[in-house]
Structure 1
Amino acid sequence: MESKIFITLLLVGLAAQSLAKPKGKSSKLPEFLKVCYRDSPDLNTCARSSFESLEPRLMNGIPELYIPPMEPLRVPEIKMDQDSGAIYLHSVYKNVKISGISKHTLHNLTIVPSQLKFALGITFPKLKLESQYSIKGKIMMMPMLGDGNCKVELSNITVATEMIGEEYKKDGATHLKIKEIKVKYELADVHMQLDNLFNGDKALGKRMNDFLNENWRSLSEEVRPLMIKALVDILRASVDKLFDAFSYDDLLPSMKM
């Protein structure tokens, strides 16, 4: 349950992480990507325009940038464990399908080259998630047991990320890697349906689903530290993969070069 409420917050990182570098792939940036100059006074305007120009391509994916097809985004399996506070659960989600990722709003994109700082803020108006789940544990001392189909709808998910990089040399070129990541997120509403809870006991299953939907906000605070750590770890691995594939001068060249 805990990852179902929040797994959509990991989508950007999962998307980038889920594609390995294709064999024989060129290290040159794709021609359709608008290049922005790090010493340009219009850097942030250019960066936003470049980001938004990629939106039509998200449906089919952008393998050159390690981004898989987004509508729907498919993740084979996710495992999550929470064993602190009021929640003690082991859960596995298979054949995860998420819809609505491409319909996002970008409300902040800021690059500060002198600090190697990248800030991004995105809102997803509506995300729908479907999967097969298996879960066992306790929520607020109440037993939680089930396996079957799961559906979750999330409304107005806003994610704000700030990343600080540092330089290193690779094959004579300057590359970046992530030194620090800060993440904040907010959710407006969540509705979920877990089928076949308690071995198909419909009365117990309905009561548990009602409880989860009525108390999702307080439950979300219990798992917030876990979700932030998971998101930070995934984003670090994903962005470092992109930074490793392309040099700093490829990604953000200088006009003076």
Structure 2
Amino acid sequence: MDRNFIIRLMLLLGVALQGESAKLPSFLKVCYRDSPNLNTCARQSFEALRPRLMEGIPELFIPSMEPLVVPQVKMDQDSGAIYLHSVYRNVKVTGISKHSVNELRLEPSKLKFIVSLTFPKLHMESAYSIKGKIMMMPLLGDGHCQVDLINITMRTELIGQEYQKDGANYLKMNEVNVKYELSDVKIHLDNLFNGDKALGDRMNEFLNENWKALAEEVRPLMTRALKDILSSSVDKLFSSFSYDVLLPKGKGK
């Protein structure tokens, strides 16, 4: 994940960046906060943008989402049944284009933005380095990894607060709530235990057999990381564009 993911999220919510200082592509659909059809507009905006989002939108500095490339992800945990220090580099995620929208709702009176997406399958590949213990079993490796997340649903809720800057209304995020559920996980780590095939095969088998318990162990870590990333990126976006530019008033039909 990176800051561009949040810009894509705002586009999924139907937010059109407009204003005198910006020249926007003609394909962006504007949604007005006082329209009774706001959420319908948001859905239409998303559907119109979906093909371009997959290919990337250079005008908005948005890279391709298929695949989505993340330079580096760090995951460290030293509590519960897991003690791990791990780094994943050049992470490539495919399958994002196959998502469906479960919920896409804007509540301007509450300054609330909600989006829920389901991905039938996300496939991730990266170089990895990992050291630690899982359920008292040592884990050591440095190589290539593949992970499939099956039927994953992610729901994000953003709640903002207005403030004044340079005579205009801006938003800052007071709350960022993220929840996710998934049906299955398939994982394979190459070159575990310095290339010991027997030990590596047994560990991969253990990880796949116990993925549910392991997923719950790392859930607080994953949720906290997602919230931190979302908060930082959304605040940067909202500090650059006023609320009236992001979600203008008027033409509320």
Give the TM-score, by structure 1 length.
0.88
1:57-136 matches, within 5 Å, as 57-136=52-131
Partner-residue secondary structure (3-state), 2:230: helix
2:155 to 139, 153, 160: 160
Change (3 A) 1:254 1:17: closer
- Is the contact made by 1:16 and 1:67 (CA closer than 8 Å) also made in structure 2? no
The Cα of 1:56 is off from its aligned counterpart by 0.3
Change (3 A) 1:31 1:173: farther
Measure the CA separation in 1 of the matches of 2:223 and 2:57.
Answer: 26
Q: State the aligned residue count.
A: 240
Letter paired with 1:98: V
62-71 vs 217-226, which moves further: 62-71
Structure 1 residue 35 and structure 2 residue 25: aligned? no
205-214 vs 230-239, which moves further: 230-239
Structure 1 residue 209 and structure 2 residue 199: aligned? no
Q: Deviations over 1:145-192 (max 9, x none)?
A: 001110111111100111110112222221111110111100111101
- The alignment's C-alpha RMSD in Å is 1.9
**Structure 2 gaps, min length 5:** 9-20
Change (3 A) 1:63 1:246: farther
Task: Give the equivalent residue in structure 2 for 1:22.
Answer: none
Q: Deviations over 1:56-80 (max 9, x none)?
A: 0122213454532111111111111
Partner-residue secondary structure (3-state), 1:58: helix
Structure 1 residue 15 and structure 2 residue 10: aligned? no
1:173-192 matches, within 5 Å, as 173-192=168-187
The Cα of 1:140 is off from its aligned counterpart by 0.6
Partner-residue secondary structure (3-state), 1:254: coil
Change (3 A) 1:171 1:30: farther
Measure the CA separation in 2 of the matches of 1:215 and 1:27.
Answer: 51
Paired-residue identity, %: 69
